[in-house]
Structure 1
Amino acid sequence: MGGWYRGDCHVHSVHSDGELTAAEPAAAARAAGLHFVATTDHNTAAAHGVWAEQADAGLLVILGEEVTTATGHWLALGIGPGEVVGGEYGVRDGLIGAHLDRVHRAGGICVAAHPHAPYPSGTFAYAYEGFDTVEVWNGLWTSDLPWNADNEAALAEWGRGLAADVHRGRWRPAVGNSDTHLAGQLGVPHTVVFAEELSTSAVLAALRAGRSWIAGSAAVDVSFTATAGAKTAEVGGCLDTGGREVVVRARVRGVPSATVSFHTERGAVHHTELSPEGSGEVEWRTTAQESGFVRAEVRDPRGHMAALTNPVALT
């Protein structure tokens, strides 16, 4: 049957360079209405045991690591208890593929983290080939703002490659995480997934498939669908249109005076402003001949991102 679950898959603690014990972000996750978090301390599994103690029926804890290399960081999610992937290499060493394979063999996924982070080793120098998802929205360096130029660059880079990837049937989903190090950061942003159940394997499968969208806070809610005749597809899906006209709909709540935009391989193709109350529905029509995919963005009146979706492919 499945359902929608909210989670933050990039969280640090006192076991690397964070200032929080595992109990503090776990409590913050529950308070924010999140259903899952991932522990991703830098190049260590020291927090796995204490994080596991925070899990219960209402909060799933995914064991992971932020693999910190000389030329980029990436998240290994779904690794075994106590497992350390390690990052003693750079892009010129040609070792990244073996490490990605190791995580995949364990049933985990690999996330290219904050591709345009503004510090040495933070900029992601590896090809995205072999990675399952791209963290296009990272909250660490946004200060009191939900969005910055580094995230804008990551989104543009991901978006430019999306058309070709969707066309060949192997597109790479976008995710968003807080990169929590301090109190008050958790869940800004986070990823909302449609999973078969609240379990590590089901959540990772949903992230890998792109059945997800990114929210700037738990106050934001988005429903995004494409319909042709009697058939409907949601984010991450593929709609067989049968040559019929496609009706694209976004229902948005929690972003006052937002601008909702739809994007295809032709760029931004439709804009609508919502009411000051922040709730509304936006509709646009297209065909598979005109659009190989459609995705949505929701921005606040300052132009900062409030939510963005993965695409629906149209055939």
Structure 2
Amino acid sequence: MGGWYRGDCHVHSVYSDGELTPAELAAAARAAGLDFVATTDHNTAAAHGGWAEQSGDGLLVILGAEVTTATGHWLALGIGPGEVVDWEYGVREGQIGSRLAQVHRAGGICVAAHPHAPYPTGTFTHAYEGFDAVEVWNGLWASDLPWNADNEAALAEWGRGLAAEVHRSRWRPAVGNSDTHLAGQLGVPHTVVLAEELTTPAVLAALRAGRSWIAGSAAVDVSFTATAGAETAEVGGCLDTRGREAVVRARVRGAPSATVSFHTERGVVHHVRLAPEGSGEVEWRTSAGESGFVRAEVRHPDRQMAAITNPVVLT
């Protein structure tokens, strides 16, 4: 039976440069209300065995790695047990395509990680071509500032490219992860997916399709839909309007006094401030002739991000 599942797909343990064991991270994931996590230690599969022991009891563990190339990091999610993906190259070597193909052959997905990270090798200069998603929200410094300028730049870059990608019928979804290294970071932020079941293939398929939104914490809940006549599409879906007006709705909980904004290929087209209790519904009307997609953002009064949705495509 399908449903909405919360998960964090960028997690480091003592097997690379994290401070927690897989068992400690799994306990933290359950405590945070997460349904799945991905093991993404740097350039190693050494943690796979330890993580496999933590899977079950309502927690899915997706095997993966963070591939730290000389010109950007990326997440290989859904690789086989013990599988290692080479990282010893940069953009000039032209090897990225074969590494992405390796992950895809295993049934996995490839995610460009923290594309504007401000340190050597962290800034992503590979082309996005061949990648399945982009990590627009990375919470590595979440204990200090959950949403920072690096994330703002990544979101703006992704948002600018979205219109062209939608009109080419292959858009690249956004995801958000904690990049946990220390205690207390897990799940800030995380990605909420609409999957057919809580299995690795189903969760990866949902991430690849963009049937997901990013939550700043487990306290935030968002429903984002577009309706035309009797037809409704949820986030990541495509709504055939048949020339009819589309009603876009965002239902939000857990974001006191936050601003909900709708974004299209024309930029910000609508925004509403929620009540202090943090729950409310925002509605706006548009058409496929005005834009090929609509997506939503929810920001706290201090402009810190609370949630980001992937788009609903309008045709």
The TM-score range, normalised by the shorter chain, is over 0.9
Counterparts of residues 22-41 of structure 1 (less than 5 Å): 22-41=22-41
Determine the structure 2 residue equivalent to 1:165.
165
Aligned length: 315
Tell me which residue corresponds to 1:20: 20
Residue matched to 2:257: 257
Does structure 1 residue 304 correspond to structure 2 residue 304?
A: yes
Aligned to 1:291: 291
The alpha carbon displacement at 1:25 in A equals 1.2
* Distance of 1:146 and 1:253 partners within structure 2: 19
Contact 1:6 1:34 (C-alpha < 8 Å) held by counterparts = yes
Question: Residues of 1 paired with 2:287 and 2:109: CA distance?
Answer: 33
- What SS does the aligned partner of 1:170 have? coil
**1:66 partner letter:** E
- The offset of 1:2, in angstroms, is 1.1
> Following the alignment from structure 1 to structure 2, what is the Cα–Cα distance between the partners of residues 241 and 57?
42
Q: In the alignment, residue 43 of structure 1 is paired with which amino acid?
A: N
* 1:194-228 CA-partner distances (Å, limit 9, x unpaired): 00000000000000000000000000000000000
**Paired amino acid for 2:103:** V
Matched letter for residue 24 of structure 1: E
Which residue of structure 2 aligns with residue 266 of structure 1?
Answer: 266
- TM-score when normalising by structure 2: 0.99
Confirm whether residue 75 of structure 1 aligns to residue 66 of structure 2. no
- Runs of 5+ consecutive residues of structure 2 not aligned to the other structure: none
Aligned equivalent of 1:148 = 148
Match of 1:120 in 2: 120
Aligned to 1:252, the other structure's residue is in SS state strand
Paired residue for 2:66? 66
- Please tell me the root mean square deviation across aligned C-alpha atoms, in Å: 0.6
AA at the equivalent of 1:19: E
Residue 86 of structure 1, CA deviation: 1.9
Alpha-carbon distance between aligned partners in 1 of 2:113 and 2:86, rounded to the nearest angstrom: 15
Supply the AA of the counterpart residue of 1:125: T
| TM-aligned CA deviation for residue 254 of structure 1 | 0.3
- Counterpart position of 1:5: 5
How far residue 142 of structure 1 moved from its aligned partner, in angstroms, is 3.7
Distance 2:190 2:97 in 1: 27
Gaps of 5+ in 1: none
The 3-state SS of whatever aligns with 1:141 is coil
CA distance in 2 between counterparts of 1:310 and 1:174 reads: 6
Alpha-carbon separation, structure 2, partners of 1:290 and 1:238: 15
Query: When the two structures are superposed, what TM-score results if normalisation uses the length of structure 1?
Result: 0.99
CA contact (8 A) 1:146 1:306 kept: no
State whether residues 114 and 137 of structure 1, in contact with CA within 8 Å, keep that contact through their aligned partners in structure 2.
yes
Distance (whole Å) between structure 2 residues aligned to residue 198 and residue 9 of structure 1: 14
